[in-house]
Amino acid sequence: MAVRTTFGSTPGSAWINEHRKWVLAAPALVFVGALVVIPIIYTVVLSLTDARGSILSEFSFIGLENYAAVLSDTARFWPAAWRTFAYTTVALSLQMSLGLAIALLLRRPFRGQGIVRVIILLPVVATPVAVGMMWQLILEPNIGVANHLLESIGLPRGSFLGSQSTALVTLAIIDAWQWTPMVTLILLAGLSTLPEEPDEAARVDGATAWQRFRFVTFPLLRPTFFAALALRAVDALKSFDVLYAIKGPGGGSYHEAETLNIYAYSLNFSHNNYGIAATVLTLFVALTLALVTLLIFRRKEVRP
Amino acid sequence: MSSVPHARPARRQPARARAYTVFRFCAIGVVVVTILGPLLWMILAALKDNVDIFNSSRIFSFAPTLKNFVTVFAEESFLDFIVNSLLVGAVSTVISLAVALPASYSISRFVMRRSKTFVLVARIMPAVSLLVPWYFLFSRMGIVGSYTVLVITHMFVSVPLMIYILVGFFDGLPLELEESGQVDGLTPIGAFLRISVPLSMPGVATACILAFIFSWNNFLFALVLASNSTRTLPLSLYNFVRYASVDWGGLMAASVVITTPIIVIALFLQRYIVAGLAAGATKG
Amino acid sequence: MKRQTRFRNVAVAVSVAVLTAGVVGCSSGGGGSNRTLQVYMGNHGFTEQVQANIEAFEESTGIDVEISVYGEEQLSDQYTVQLNAGSDDIDVMMFRPLQEARLYWENGWLEDLEPHASTATDWDLSDFQPGPIDALTFDGALTSIPVSTERAVLYYRADLLAEQGIAVPTTFEELADAAAAIEAAHDDVVGYVARGNAHGAVPIFSAFLYSHGGDWVDAEGNAALDTPEAIAAYETYGGLLRDYGPSSGLADIQWDSAMALFTQGKAAFYIDADSLATNAIDPSSSTIVDSVAFAPLPAGPAGSRTFNIPNYALGISAYSSAKDEAWAFIEYFTSKESTKQFQLNAIPGARVSVWLDDEALAGFPPTLAAAIAESLDGVGRDRPAVARASEAREIVGRPLLTVLEAGDTAAAAQEANRAFQQLLDEVQD
């Protein structure tokens, strides 16, 4: 890649330049590696043991017994897996569609657009724990503001976070409230780099706005869209702060908000069952990796 | 997108455009209200007595009080928390940048796909699976409760994030500039330092701002690994959840205090955030 | 170019400053030169009292103390993580004895306080209420000292009762009738409110269980959730809430929601722990300060039997390297003098002598003091006494949800009994 072949004055600098690929990347890779590899190994090892109570107390290896127990656990594990899937799907669908819609809305310049951009940044930068508590207070069925407002315009009261059937969806909506602006910003940035000619050409040819969007804009936007989707998918799967702040470690009375992440946390810290917790986490990470790989391959497929 | 049906070509543009403009402003208005509404309510709640907070009919008509803010600063020694959050945020961001910037350059220029994937995998790991082994390791090293351990763990989140943003950014930076620099007599590393790095400032700004924000908002690591003297702000919210009462007013005031600095940052530096996301998203 | 150079210089300067600060911070945050006593406490009135009096302790003993205060759940998390790694960063630990004492003891995290306690003659171990002390003694070892107690009492609106000419209910049937009467007379007031979420309701439910003559286990230690007494208790607890409580969201009512409803004047009766009474009598959070009053728990078929439990206790970490100083701290703040002083600030202590002292009841509103005085003879636990307390709590609370939905209580109780028995069997080994 270099045009020159003779480098700087000192031999050290020559070596550095020669091997700059790894010299530059090494610190980051070593750092990340050390902090990830060891916990992964530790977690997988733990998942093969019956460790519980105190880590310092003795435990024995029981092979894949934990995995058998967890994968056949229809009381807690599979519902948690289902909830993780449901929560992520609802949150992502909302975020991506609304995010795209709002990005298209804000695309062309308008008066006050600077202020609007700052405003939509606010939920993204707000502290998740604080956001969770704020929404908890607003959505409280008996004394919260939300039901008061609904009543005053004639709509029925809702139980939002209070009912087993609506809690998870409400939480997904809160997640969407907080992160849709991020999707919007990413897509806006993507939209701004799109060339204008294809769109102009289509307009001249008489295409409607919807046709222009579907056949010109969106295909060009696809890489960005999937980048944002992958980003948000990983974060949504790992959602913790808001769920913990609102429903606590157990995910509520009926475990209605218990996703795999929350379940693993409660196994670790409430029940001190490290073996099973490690098993759940290993499965969870494997699932996430599979999903992300799928998304990445999908994106590579459609790249022009 | 437009809900107006086709009209005859001659009159299409003006009527349609006007309808769309009106629709657009309404839609934007709805978005703004949905976002600002809850936040404004939070600010109002911070100025109310607990009695008034639960009384929904008194959203706007109440006697404002600064009592909650007094509680936050005087009784809960919030200044210590703020200093801790600032310190950990700033130090972890700076060191993360020093580590992530060269790595991003390398990954981009040498198309190091496996390294990039490796770093992304780090983003996927849920924090819970890391906490117990980390605590084990760090306590053996004797650094639990210190700023060091918080900085290290926050860096663990920041470095992959920065790499994600900066790799996209470098991908969009044309090679010619560096190559012409080398023609002028710079070594490859020299070209990196003198040409690529200065040009990457917008991306750097974004990466730093986002990393700082996520460090500021980080809850779980501080929960488990911080000591009393190094606790960061999000943790402090639980100070208001007492055994026998929940001080909602104080909690809302604390939330306002926690989010205000970040909002100020967003106000002044939003340009960088938006510009940086462009580079990261379109190529990343 | 110029702007970028300036930016870079600023960035470098900031980085240097920040890194320096970081290095300095590290060394000071890592631990002081003098051994300070590390005390971990929860967000509780007792903690506030200790903090108010800590200087007196430091002066009289010469021991430096650093108190770290956490929320309930977060405190447990801290212990789990730190004690798992055998850290010596914790000396005195304040924890919820009924939730955690047995678990911590079996993990080997607690120091046996018996040697210290039995030799502290002035301090007088025998002055403590037997119930709480029994709850904290395992295999002859005293794991912790109770610092604050609570019982279930009836909160009620004296004004609403007077309006209907109803006397204060003394049995659950009377309570149901009174709640119905008041609810019929007022559109915006429900007759009754209590904790509805299974996990949180279990402690309060225990008082109902005992008042119906039931218990978590029978004499042989087998699960007893499907006995007629237990089923009746589930029905009473859930039935009151279902029939006279708010119209929706019952299964998610935590104590703070229930309390908020009551203090906003929207409920006539409320059964919960007396330790939460401050919320109802504090003008800044309650609209009914002048009309709230307290009564002992209504009676069931087996009388009015509430729990009288230590909600928090102080223990010494087995990994501590300052155990004598830690004991000095505990001895000081659980002494007769301290307990009396704290009680004047409405912290109900665990000492008998202090309760019998009329002066010491002055810190409570009159009806509350009377209600407490009649409830001292309570059962020493409000939940199943097993190591896996969290799990057990979830299991025994589930039938309550069935009652709230007007389902088959007996079937739910039998199912819970099965699960509970299984847990008991597992814990045996």
Residue B263 falls within a domain, yes or no? yes
pTM of the model: 0.81
State whether B110 and B54 are in the same domain.
no
Q: Which domains does chain C have, with CATH numbers?
A: 37-149+309-373 (3.40.190.10), 150-307+385-428 (3.40.190.10)
**A218 contact C CB<8A:** no
Residue in the block written with tokens 């202590």: C349
Q: How far apart are CA A22 and CA A114, in angstroms?
A: 42
* Tally of domains in chain B: 2
Q: Cβ of B217 and A125 within 8 Å?
A: yes
Residue-level pLDDT at C10: 56
Whether residue B87 lies within 8 A of chain C, CB to CB, comes out as: yes
Q: Please enumerate in sequence order all residues whose Cβ is within 8 A of that of C109, keeping only pairs 6 or more positions apart, or say none.
A: A54, C79, C83, C317, C318, C319
With beta carbons less than 8 A apart as the criterion, state whether C183 and C240 touch. no
Average pLDDT over residues A64-83: 90
Give the residue from A235, A31, C88 showing the smallest Cα distance to B153: A31
Contact by Cβ (8 Å): C95, C144: yes
Residue C411: the pLDDT is 94
pLDDT at C45: 86
Q: Which residues of A96-117 are buried (b: 16+ CB within 10 A; e: fewer)?
A: bebbbbbbbbbeeeeeeeeebb
In this prediction, residue C7 carries a pLDDT of 52
Closest by Cα among A80, A53, A72 to A284: A80
Contact status, residue B188 vs residue B180, Cβ threshold 8 Å: no
CA distances from C344 to B207, C332, C365 (A): 55, 17, 11
Question: Within a domain: residue B63?
Answer: no
Residue A114 near residue B273 (C-beta atoms within 8 A): no
- Alpha-carbon gap, residue A222 to A228, rounded angstroms: 10
| Interface size between B and C, measured as CB pairs under 8 A | 127
Residue A266's H or E segment, with its range, is helix A260-269
B269 touches chain C (CB under 8 A): no
Min Cα–Cα distance to chain C from A86, Å: 21
Whether B46 is covered by a domain: the verdict is yes
- CA proximity to C394, closest of A255, B243, A69: A255
Is residue A181 assigned to a domain? yes
**Full residue range of the structural domain in which residue A244 is found:** 81-271+280-302
Give the helix/strand (H/E) hosting C270.
Answer: strand C267-273
B51, B98, B198 member nearest C284 (Cβ): B51
Domain shared by B133 and B26, yes or no = no
One pLDDT digit (tens) per residue for chain C, 429 residues:
455 555 555 555 555 555 555 454 444 444 433 578 999 999 888 998 999 999 999 999 999 999 988 888 888 888 887 887 778 889 999 999 887 888 899 888 999 999 998 888 888 888 888 778 888 888 889 999 999 889 999 999 999 999 999 999 999 999 999 999 999 999 889 999 999 988 889 999 999 999 999 999 988 889 999 999 999 999 999 999 999 998 877 887 888 889 988 998 999 999 999 988 988 988 888 889 999 999 999 999 999 999 988 889 999 999 999 999 999 999 999 999 999 888 888 888 888 888 777 787 788 888 998 888 888 788 888 888 887 777 888 899 999 999 999 999 999 999 999 999 999 998 875
For residue B64, tell me if it sits in a domain.
no
* Cβ <8 Å between C77 and B146: no
Interface of B with A in 175-234 (CB under 8 A): 179, 182-183, 185, 187-190, 192, 213, 216-217, 219-220, 233-234
Torsion of CA C23, C27, C30, C33, to 10 degrees: -170
Q: Roughly what angle, to the nearest 10 degrees, separates helices B248-283 and B9-46?
A: 140
The ipTM estimated for the assembled molecules is 0.81
Decide if C337 touches B, using CB distance below 8 A. no
Apex B218 CA angle, A186 and B93, nearest 5: 70
| DSSP annotation string for C174-237 | HHHHHHHHHHHH-SS-EEEE---SHHHHHHHHHHHHHHTT--SB-TTS-B-TTSHHHHHHHHHH
Cβ pair B88, B215 in contact under 8 A? yes
Whether residue B84 is found in the same domain as residue B182: yes
For residue A150, pLDDT over 80 is answered with yes
| Mean residue pLDDT across chain A | 83
Q: Torsions phi, psi of A151, nearest 5?
A: -60, -40
Å between A115 CA and nearest CA of chain B: 9
Nearest to residue A173, comparing CAs of A100, A237, A90, A248?
A: A90
Nearest C-alpha in B relative to C279:
B245
pLDDT (0 to 100) of residue C191: 93
Around Cβ B209, how many Cβ atoms within 10 Å?
20
Q: Residue A90's CB: how many other CB atoms inside 10 A?
A: 19
Give the burial string for A163-191 (b: 16+ CB within 10 Å, else e).
bbebbbebbbbbbbbbbbbbbbbbbbbbb
Closest Cβ–Cβ partner in C1, C29, C285 for B229: C29
CATH of residue A230: 1.10.3720.10
- Write out the H or E segment, with its range, that includes residue C314: strand C308-316
C79 half-sphere exposure, CB direction, 13 A CA radius: 33
B102 CB-near residues (< 8 Å, 6+ apart): A23, A24, A25, A27, A28, B192
Q: Which residues 72-91 of chain B have a CB within 8 Å of chain A?
A: none
Q: What is the domain range of residue B34?
A: 9-58
Q: Which chain A residue lies closest to C391 (C-alpha atoms)?
A: A271
Mean pLDDT of A33-47: 86
B41–A138: do the CB atoms touch at under 8 Å? Answer: yes
Q: Partners for C (CB, 8 Å, 3+ pairs)?
A: A, B
Distance (Å, rounded) from C-alpha A178 to C-alpha A189?
Answer: 19
Residues B75 and B49 in one domain: no
Pairing of strands C145-157, C308-316: antiparallel
Cβ proximity of B245 and C72 under 8 Å: no
Task: Give the mean model confidence (pLDDT) for residues A72-85.
Answer: 90
The reported pLDDT for the residue numbered C169 is: 94
Give yes or no for B56 touching C (CB within 8 A): no
Lowest mean pLDDT, pick from A16-25, A99-108, C21-30, C111-120: C21-30
Q: Which of B244, B217, B249 is nearest to B76 (CA)?
A: B249
Do the domain assignments include residue A46?
no
- What span, in angstroms and rounded, lies between the C-alpha atoms of B112 and B109? 8
Inter-chain Cβ pairs, chain A and chain B, closer than 8 A: 266
pLDDT on residue C13: 57
Tokens at C206, concatenated = 């225990």
Q: Answer whether A157 touches C (CB < 8 Å).
A: yes
Q: B-chain residues within 8 Å CB-CB of A24?
A: 102-103, 105-106, 192
* Confidence at A33, pLDDT banded by 50, 70, 90: confident
Where do we find the tokens 């046996």? C112
C96, C252, C388, best to mutate vs chain A, most A CBs in 10 Å: C252
Residues in CB range of B226: below 8 A, 6 or more apart: B84, B145, B150, B232, B235
Cα distance between residue A91 and residue A89, in whole Å: 6
Burial of C114 (0-12, 13-18, 19+ CB in 10 A): middle
Together in a domain, B187 and B279? yes
In a domain, residue B102? The reply is yes
Tens digits of pLDDT across chain B (284 residues)? 444 555 445 555 577 778 888 888 899 999 999 999 999 999 998 998 887 887 777 777 778 888 889 888 887 678 888 999 999 999 999 999 999 999 999 888 888 888 888 887 787 778 777 877 787 677 777 777 789 999 999 999 899 889 888 887 788 788 888 788 778 877 888 888 888 888 888 788 888 888 898 899 998 888 878 877 788 888 888 878 777 777 888 889 999 998 888 888 878 887 776 665 554 444 43
B51 and B113 both lie in a single domain: no
- Same-domain pairing of B152 and B101: yes
- Give yes or no: residues B143 and B191 share one domain: yes
Q: Chain B contacts of A231, Cβ < 8 Å?
A: 164
Q: Are residues B151 and B209 in the same domain?
A: yes
Contact B244 C44 (CB under 8 A): yes
Mutation pick from A17, A104, A125, A182 vs chain B, by most beta carbons of B within 10 Å, is A125
Q: Are residues B34 and B77 in the same domain?
A: no
Give SS3 for C36. coil
CB contact under 8 A, C4 and B198: yes
Residue A132 lies in a domain: yes
User: Is B37 within a domain?
Assistant: yes
Structurally, chain A folds into a number of domains equal to: 1
From chain C residues 401-420, the ones with a CB under 8 A of any chain A CB are 401
Residue A38 lies in a domain: no
Say which CATH number the domain at B194 has.
1.10.3720.10
pLDDT of res. C387 = 74
- B173 and B227 in one domain? yes
* B52 and B134 belong to one structural domain: no
Q: What is the pLDDT of residue B1?
A: 44
**Do residue C80 and residue A272 have CB atoms under 8 angstroms apart?**
yes
B65 touches chain C (CB under 8 A): no
